[in-house]
Structure 1
């Protein structure tokens, strides 16, 4: 279990993470979502004691990360697949970690096989790896100590479809055995498939949290018209959160009847108006982060 309580981080006058509180339960994958710059990576770095919080705390299995003896045997961490020694081979990188944790060298071979790095690839220097290979090596390093908890920031970045499927299966097996997994990703459809719980952050604050079923069942509307630009302005002037949908039309944080009344009042003809419940995580993400997104939704 990971318990995050009032976690805050400021840099001068800027608040990067603002009073963040949530729990990552054992036996479940928790998806941690938010626009670029929302505070996801800073929060994960504070969990792993790489960034000191201004206030609040995070506990992993009831302890601060820095108080855990030999933490790699308890918490597997992948925050940046690029941050690996380019001059070492893949095998050397894992061997250094294994020796640091007091593990048998045979564990290195087990992990290389698990993540699908061949003997020839393991002999290559990491500097010559593709991003996908670096991700596999980073995941191998996170799993090396047979941890109970995983903290993974964008682990699917650079993986091909087969690699993403492999990672999905790996995380499902890990949590099925009682492990705790916190996963951030901009691949919303993948998170929708694998996550049991969701935490959404925007501008450093939690904007929603709950089970996947709870958050995706929340009301809202999808609307299309002959003039979506005019309709968007009308909805926003009426005080409703509305954003453009990647698939066309608008996603609105309001019941369809409310949206319809605004359109009627402004004389805007609608071509589609429906509840957004069936739209999936992408539409819900747009609704929750409409005021916080810098570059729109990343798929």
Structure 2
């Protein structure tokens, strides 16, 4: 279990995290979503005791991180895969971690095998690793102590599509066995397929949170017709919110209401379905538009 209660961090007159409250339950993967600079990493650093909060508090397994005995045996953390000693080999990094945590050296071989780093790769200096290899090593280090909780900040950066699929399967299996996972990303699709719960943050404040099913159910309906532009006008006349989707229109209404309106006006429907991930992405972009570098169309 991870809890954040009224978590706030100010740097002078700038508020990086503003009154954030949420929890991450055992047996779930919680996706922590937001644009770059939204406050995700600052929240995670406060959870791990690396950045003191201005106000509020966080606990992991019911205690502040600093109060956990031998914390690596309870919480696995990956905040920055590039922040590893470039002069050491991957095996040396894991061996040192095992020594600090009081683990048997055999655990190092288990983790190298788990994350797919070969004997040759583990013997290379980290300065010669690709970003994807550093991510795999970072995940191995996070899992080294067989922790109950994982806190991972952008772990998919640098991984190829096969690596991302591998990571998703690994984390899904970890949660299914009762583990607690907090997984941050600025890209919705990276974690949509693995997350059970979502927390969306923008400008340091939570703008949406809940189960993935709940948020996807509230994300609208996708509709395609033989004349989308004309039907968009009809929908707007009916007081419905309409935006252009990758294929058709995204409407904030139930499919039955849209289908009834189409029948009333003799509109030929090509597709009508709950928006699902497309609507969730659109909702994410709209909710975090003020914090994004790119403009979001209204």
What interval of TM-score do these two structures reach, taking the shorter chain for normalisation?
0.7 to 0.9
3-state SS, counterpart of residue 282 of structure 2: helix
Please provide the CA RMSD for this pair.
2.9
What's the CA shift for 1:184?
Answer: 0.8
- Match of residue 208 from structure 1: 208
> What are the equivalent positions in structure 2 for 1:193-204 lying under 5 Å apart?
193-204=193-204
Alpha-carbon distance in 1 for matches of 2:37, 2:3: 22
- The 1:73–1:296 alpha-carbon spacing in structure 2 relative to 1, beyond 3 Å, is farther
- Match of residue 282 from structure 1: 281
- Match of residue 261 from structure 2: none
Alpha-carbon distance in 2 for matches of 1:50, 1:256: 45
Task: Compute the TM-score of the two structures, normalised by the length of structure 1.
Answer: 0.83
Alpha-carbon distance in 2 for matches of 1:157, 1:278: 25
What's the CA shift for 1:226?
Answer: 5.7
What's the CA shift for 1:92?
Answer: 0.5
What's the CA shift for 1:156?
Answer: 1.0
Comparing 165-174 with 130-139, which one deviates more in the overlay?
A: 165-174
- Match of residue 52 from structure 2: 52
**Cα deviation per residue 1:46-104 (whole Å; 9 max; x = unaligned)?**
10111110000000010000111111000000000000000000001111111111111
3-state SS, counterpart of residue 201 of structure 1: strand
Structure 2 unaligned segments of length 5 or more: list them: 259-268
Alpha-carbon distance in 1 for matches of 2:36, 2:126: 27
Task: Compute the TM-score of the two structures, normalised by the length of structure 2.
Answer: 0.83
**Cα deviation per residue 1:14-63 (whole Å; 9 max; x = unaligned)?**
10000000010000000000111111110011101111100000000100
Alpha-carbon contact 2:8-2:53 (below 8 Å) kept: yes
Alpha-carbon distance in 2 for matches of 1:278, 1:100: 45
What's the CA shift for 1:186?
Answer: 3.0
3-state SS, counterpart of residue 209 of structure 2: strand
What's the CA shift for 1:284?
Answer: 2.7
Aligned length: 278
- The 1:117–1:279 alpha-carbon spacing in structure 2 relative to 1, beyond 3 Å, is closer
3-state SS, counterpart of residue 15 of structure 2: strand
What's the CA shift for 1:122?
Answer: 0.5
